[in-house]
Amino acid sequence: MKNSRRDFFKQVAALPIAAQVALAYGDESKLRDEVEETTLIRKGRRSVFNMSGYAAPAIPKLRVGYIGLGPRGLASLKRTAMFEDVEIRAIADCYEYPIQQARDFFKSINYPAPAEYFKSEETWKDLVARDDLDLIFVTTPQYWHAEMACAAMEAGKHVACEVPLCYTLEECWRLVETSERTRKHCAMLENCCYDFFEATTGNMARQGVFGEIVYGEGAYIHYFTTAQVFAEPQPPLSKKAGMHRHAVACTVKGNRYPTHGFGPVCVAMNVGAGDRPDYLTSTETDDFVRAREFAEILKEGRDYHKQFAGKEFSGNMNLSTIRTVNGKAILIKYDRMSPQPYSRSYVLSGLKGFVQKYPDPARIYLNGETPATEEEMKAIEEQYAPELIKYLRENALKFGGHGGMDFVCEYRLIDSLRNGLPLDLTVYDGATWSAVIPLSLWSATRRSQPIDFPDFTGGNWKTNKPLDLSLRGGGSTKVKAPTETAK
Ligand SMILES: NC(=O)c1ccc[n+]([C@@H]2O[C@H](COP(=O)([O-])OP(=O)(O)OC[C@H]3O[C@@H](n4cnc5c(N)ncnc54)[C@H](O)[C@@H]3O)[C@@H](O)[C@H]2O)c1
């Protein structure tokens, strides 16, 4: 039994990453085994180079490429086009329709037309091979992230990758190892770390305003009906666009989208900089919705839906609890199918204060059970909003992206690379926050047994510095006046 599993993993290790993930999609038990094998292979691994705190050489004129121009890629590209001393030189998608949309946008703002790559699902490799790019945005569906990001780093480019960074532990490790070996950054675009409220309260947490934080909570609770999730993408969209990634995600158990909830809480609790996740346990309810409703959809017999036939769907709610080596606890909730209001939860419970973002309105408690008044909230914001947020607020509101946090996230990354500063979010953060995906699957399908959390930093978490959202050495990137089209 053990041998055949080893053999299987030897074969799998030889496959390209996307093929490994595709395999894992099809077989939940293989994905579970992968967690154990990968953990064994990497046990005790030390870092070969610490990417946290690493200032790569400054790139004053930053040349950028984009792979994947769905809603996320296109919106990001429009904001990036507004930064001075940044040139979008090349764009790729596997379909021409999204490329055409980008083409129209560039024309409308008189922007030099970037090179285009759109012949097939493999054409992105030609973009990666160009020798005139410094940074590549990977904004494709999640199962492509690791392969594209690793290829880009191997080709000498920094990477900005959408969330989650990847799906499997093997992918997490490959990304970490590739980043350390090539000394190219691989930043996951966890925009929620730059939400004004999360950024401000995170800053307060690091200044000790809430005292020792002993418990944190994050979530991705976002209700989608079964009809929405399995809506067949209509031409000119690709068969893999739109809700397709949600449909794929709900065919495997575990928390499939943990980073919006886990990331900001880790940042506030200095997880990765003085503390680290020790182990995780995960519990998942049964599926009380999808299988029953999907069976009705399948009766219509459309080809698109047949790829999901026979799949066991994930449960309504997944609850994953992480205990840290410093004895703190973090709860991450995940539910995309029970009717309830959107929530990232975002709770910080300290010895001197308490924060809760959802449900609206967000509240801060510095006085026992009495929340801060509206007036006090304004004063708190004035005192504790990080310098970065104060500096960018106006432009962030103008250019938007989830209320402006997307703009701040992209600005910060680009400005740091241009000025040769260490990045806020490193490959270790992306790997750690995404690792909840395979670990929660493992535990939730093993009667909630605990599983050790890998230390992707190779021991450097003890000395890595906490997030600092000041403008020290940065903030020099200018923003062009917005055009109607770019907003
Ligand atoms: N940070 C956030 O708030 C947030 C919000 C939504 C989505 N996301 C993430 O952003 C990513 C993209 O989301 P989306 O909604 O734009 O997805 P989408 O599926 O609508 O678009 C992805 C695009 O990538 C293209 N693509 C697919 N395979 C490709 C390949 N091999 N080569 C080149 N192009 C390829 C598709 O044709 C499509 O245009 C996902 O990873 C998602 O998880 C993040």
* pLDDT recorded at residue 50: 98
141 lines ligand 1 (CB under 6 A): yes
Q: Is the distance from the beta carbon of residue 95 to the nearest atom of ligand 1 less than 6 Å?
A: yes
One-letter amino acid identity for 426? T
User: Rg of the Cα trace of the chain?
Assistant: 22
Tell me how far apart the alpha carbons of residues 457 and 429 are, in angstroms, rounded to a whole number. 9
What pLDDT was estimated at residue 27?
Answer: 63
Inter-residue contact 202 to 175 (CB < 8 Å): no
Tell me how far the alpha carbon of residue 487 lies from the centroid of ligand 1, in angstroms.
20
Helix (H) or strand (E) holding 213: strand 213-221
Residue 89: what are its φ and ψ, rounded to 5°?
Answer: -95, -25
Which DSSP helix (H) or strand (E) runs through 298? Answer: helix 290-298
In contact, 419 and 156? CB cutoff 8 Å: no
Residue 255 CA, distance from chain mean position: 13
pLDDT at residue 42 in the model:
86
**Helix segments in 14-139, DSSP class H:** 17-26, 28-42, 71-80, 96-108, 124-128
State in Å: Cα 75 to ligand 1 middle: 11
Query: For residue 93, how far is its CA from the centre of ligand 1 (angstroms)?
Result: 10
pLDDT of 481 reads 79
- Strand segments, DSSP code E, in 424-483 are 451-452
Atom of ligand 1 nearest to the CA of 244: 19
In the numeric block, the tokens 């990765």 are attached to: 272
Task: Select from 139, 140, 159 the residue to mutate for testing ligand 1; criterion: most ligand atoms less than 8 Å from CB.
Answer: 140
Q: Is 434 in the pocket of ligand 1 (CB under 6 A)?
A: no
Ligand 1 touching residue 144 (CB < 6 A)? yes
Using CA atoms, how far apart are residues 132 and 161, in angstroms rounded to an integer? Answer: 19
Query: Which residues, in sequence order, are CB contacts of 338 under 8 Å at separation 6+?
Result: 223, 289, 316, 317
φ, ψ (nearest 5 deg) of residue 284: -130, 140
Helix H or strand E segment including 433: helix 427-434
pLDDT at 45: 87
- Furthest C-alpha separation in the chain: 65
* pLDDT confidence of residue 486: 54
- Write down the pLDDT at residue 24: 47
Identify the burial level of 417 via C-beta atoms within 10 angstroms of its C-beta, where 0-12 means exposed, 13-18 middle and 19 or more buried: buried
Is the C-alpha dihedral spanning 447, 43, 172, 150 positive or negative? negative
Q: How many CB atoms lie within 10 A of CB 232?
A: 16
Contact indicator for 74, 449 with CB cutoff of 8 Å: no
Whether the CB of 147 sits within 6 Å of ligand 1: no
Ligand 1, pocket-test mutation among 72, 138, 410, most atoms within 8 A of CB: 72
pLDDT tens digits in sequence order for the chain, 487 residues long: 344 444 544 454 444 444 455 444 446 777 777 888 888 788 888 899 999 999 999 999 999 999 999 999 999 999 999 999 999 999 999 999 999 999 999 999 999 999 999 999 999 999 999 999 999 999 998 889 999 999 999 999 999 999 999 989 999 999 999 999 999 999 999 999 999 999 999 999 999 999 999 999 999 999 999 999 999 988 877 777 778 888 888 888 999 999 999 999 999 999 999 999 999 999 999 999 999 999 999 998 788 999 899 888 999 999 999 999 999 999 999 999 999 999 999 999 999 999 999 999 999 999 999 999 999 999 999 999 999 999 999 999 998 888 999 999 999 999 999 999 999 999 999 999 999 999 999 999 999 999 999 999 999 999 999 999 999 999 999 999 766 555 5
> What integer pLDDT is reported at residue 19 of this predicted model?
47
Residue 333 in tokens: 């909730």
Question: Ligand 1 centroid vs 68 CA: distance in angstroms?
Answer: 6
**Which residue owns the Cα nearest ligand 1 atom 19?**
241
CB of residue 195 inside a 6 A radius of ligand 1 = no
329 forms beta bridges with: 215, 323
Closest residue by Cα to residue 72 from 161, 198, 175: 161
Distance 140 CA to ligand 1 centre (A): 4
Sign of CA dihedral 471, 162, 38, 28: positive
Residue 9 beta carbon below 6 angstroms from any ligand 1 atom: no
Per DSSP (E only), the strands in 308-384 are 318-324, 329-335, 347-350, 354-356, 363-367, 370-371
